[in-house]
Amino acid sequence: MPEIIVKFDDKVIERIVTEKKRISIGRTRDNDIVLENRGVSRKHAMIEFNDRAAIVMDNESLNGTFVNNRKITEEVLRDEDVITIGKYQLIYHTEHSQEHDTGADFDGTMILNTKRQKKLLENDRVEKELVSKYGGSVLLGEENAEFTEFRLDREVTTIGKAKFVHIKVKGFWISPIQAKVTNENGHHVLTNLGKKGKTLVNGEPVTMCNLKNGDLITVGRTTFKYVEGCK
Amino acid sequence: MRLAIISDIHGNLEALVSVLRHIEKQKVDKIHCLGDVVGYGGDPVGCLELISEHCDIKLMGNHEHAALGLDDTSDYNPAAKKAAEWTRHQLTDRAQSIVNEFEMSHVLDQILMVHASPYEPEQWPYVLTPEAALDAFVELKQKLCFLGHSHVPQIYCERDEELPRMQAGHDFLPDPDSRYLVNVGSVGQPRDNDPRACYAVFDDKEYEVLYHRVDYDIDTAQEKMEQANLPRMLIARLSFGR
C-alpha cells in the first residue's frame, strides 16, 4: 500500500497508509488528509491511485501545489517525491515501509480504509455455513434473541460502547473500548481494555486470552460465541 | 486573548527560565501552567516560586500530588520514586502552601485545561494513543482541551465514527467545528527526541495553536541534579529528550 508521510518544519507529524483509490487533501475535516493551517485551501489537492501510478492533482488551490519544488496542476508521482502544500511537505512512498524513524512513543500511522461496511448481516445459519462463507473466524452474538455475526477479518476488532467500535455492546460498567480481538498470525487474541467492567471468557474474567473454537465471550450484557475459521 | 501554556517543568529551573524569557517576546496576555512543576529535577522550590509569580492558572500534576503526600508512589518506577521522595523533603512550608492552591482542572469558556486527561483525571492516565484520546473525548465537554503529563507534544482531533486522528505537535489552526486535545509538551523533561524545552501559545482570536521549542542550559540543569544525587537515568535523559 502506498504511504504518505506528512512533515511540518521537517518534523514528521503523521504517516498515512492508504488502500483508497483516491484521497483528498485540504483544510476541512472531510478530507482524507487534513492540513489545518494557513496557505491550505479547503479542498486543496487530490491523489489518485491506479494499478500503475499515483497522480497528484491541484484543485485550483489559492497557493498552489508543488512537486519537488515545481508548481504543478497534475503530476505523476514517483517514489520519494515531495509534495509541498502550504507549510507542509508530503513525502510519497509507493510502498509502506515497516522501518519507521518515529519519535518517542509516536506511531502515528493511520490506515485509511475503503468505506467500512458496517451493515451487519442477520444470521440464523449454522456455524459451518458461516465459516465456509467467510473462510475466516466469526463472533456470533446473541442480543435481544437475535443472532448477529461479526467477521474477525480485521487486524483489530474493537468491542465497547463508543460510537464507532466494530461491535457495540451495552452495560453500565462498559468502557468506550472494552475489549479488542487481534489477529496474530492467524490466531485470535482477546484483550480486555476495560477500566471497570470485566471481559469474561467462558465465565472467567480475562486480561488477555488466546481464543479457541467455541469460547464464549461475555462483554457487558452480550455474549458472543467464537467460531474459528478454516486455516 | 493570547495564552502561553506550559507544563511538566519538573524542577528544571534552567529550562523554565529560558521558556519564560522566550514567552516574554510572544506578547501573551497570560501564562497558564498545567502541572508537574516539581519532581525529577534539581530545583523544585525555585520552579514553584517562579510559577507562582508568573502564572495565572496553576494546575495540580501527579508529582505535586505525590509531594503533598496525597498520591501513593508505590507504582512509580524506582527513579521516579526516589526523585519524588527527594522532592518532598525539599519542599518548604512556603512551597507546600503554593502547591496546596493548585487546581485539578480549569475551564475557560470552551477550553478545558487538565494535567493528564479529562477521563479519570485523578488516575493520571497517559493520552498517547487514539484509544486513550477517545476516552478523553467521551468526557470532554469543551471544544479544546490542553493537557500535558506524557511529555510528548501531540494533537488529537475527534472524528465521526472513527478513532481520533493523532499528529505530532505542530503549529495549526483548529477547525472551529472539530474538537481537539492538545498536549503542550514538557518544559523540563521533553520525551519526543528533541531535548529543547517545549510549550504552546494559543490565540483565541486567530484561533491558532503555536508550538515553541527553546534551547536552554542543559549542562547546568544536569549538574544540579548530580549534586542532589538524583538518579543517573533522569539526568542522562535530558540530553536526548527521551
Distance CA B86, CA B72 (A): 15
Q: Which residue has the cell 503530476?
A: A75
pLDDT category at B105 given cuts 50, 70, 90 is very high
Test A177 with B131 for CB contact under 8 angstroms: yes
Distance CA A45, CA A53 (A): 17
pLDDT category at A203 given cuts 50, 70, 90 is confident
pLDDT category at A57 given cuts 50, 70, 90 is very high
- Mean pLDDT calculated for residue range B25-37: 97
Which of the two residues, A141 and A175, has the higher pLDDT score? A175
Residue A143 has pLDDT above 90, yes or no: no
- Note whether A9 and B170 are within 8 A (CB): yes
State the DSSP string of B134-146: HHHHHH--SSEEE
Query: Comparing A23-27, B4-8, B120-124, B170-174, which segment has the lowest mean pLDDT?
Result: B120-124
Q: Regarding beta strands A82-85 and A88-93, do their DSSP bridges make them parallel or antiparallel, or are they unpaired? A: antiparallel
Test A29 with B168 for CB contact under 8 angstroms: no
Which of the two residues, B220 and A165, has the higher pLDDT score? B220
- Mean pLDDT calculated for residue range B220-224: 95
- Note whether B48 and B95 are within 8 A (CB): yes
C-alpha cell at A37: 493551517
- Mean pLDDT calculated for residue range A127-132: 57
Test A110 with B165 for CB contact under 8 angstroms: yes
Query: In the prediction, which pLDDT does A178 show?
Result: 92
Query: In the prediction, which pLDDT does B47 show?
Result: 97
Chain B residues within an 8 Å CB radius of A163: 160-161
- Mean pLDDT calculated for residue range A2-25: 92
Query: In the prediction, which pLDDT does A187 show?
Result: 86
State the DSSP string of chain A: --EEEEEETTEEEEEEEE--SEEEEESSTTSSEE--STT--TT-EEEEE-SS-EEEEE-S-SS-EEETTEEESEEEE-TT-EEEETTEEEEEESS--S-----TT---EEEE-S----PPPB----HHHHHHHHSS-EEEEEETTEEEEEE--SSEEEEESSSS-SEE---TT--SS-EEEEEETTEEEEEE--SSS-EEETTEE-SEEE--TT-EEEETTEEEEEE----
Chain A closest-CA separation from residue B121 CA (Å): 13
pTM, 2 dp: 0.71
Q: Which of B120, B123, B134 is best to mutate for the A interface (most A CBs within 10 A)?
A: B134
C-alpha cell at A2: 502506498
C-alpha torsion sign, points B164, B167, B170, B172: negative
- Mean pLDDT calculated for residue range B153-181: 93
Chain B residues bordering chain A (beta-carbon distance below 8 Å): 120, 128, 131, 134-135, 138, 150, 152, 154, 157, 159-163, 165-175, 177-178, 191-194, 241-242
Query: In the prediction, which pLDDT does A129 show?
Result: 58
Chain B residues within an 8 Å CB radius of A27: 173, 175
Pick the CATH number of B2-240 from 3.60.21.10, 3.90.45.10, 3.50.30.60, 1.20.1440.120: 3.60.21.10
Q: Which residue has the cell 501559545?
A: B201
Average pLDDT, chain B: 93
pLDDT category at A87 given cuts 50, 70, 90 is very high
- Note whether A149 and A117 are within 8 A (CB): no
Which of the two residues, A165 and A220, has the higher pLDDT score? A165
Chain A closest-CA separation from residue B59 CA (Å): 24
Most confident option among A71-80, A161-170, A213-222 = A71-80
- Give the model confidence (pLDDT) of B110-121 as tens digits: 999 999 999 999
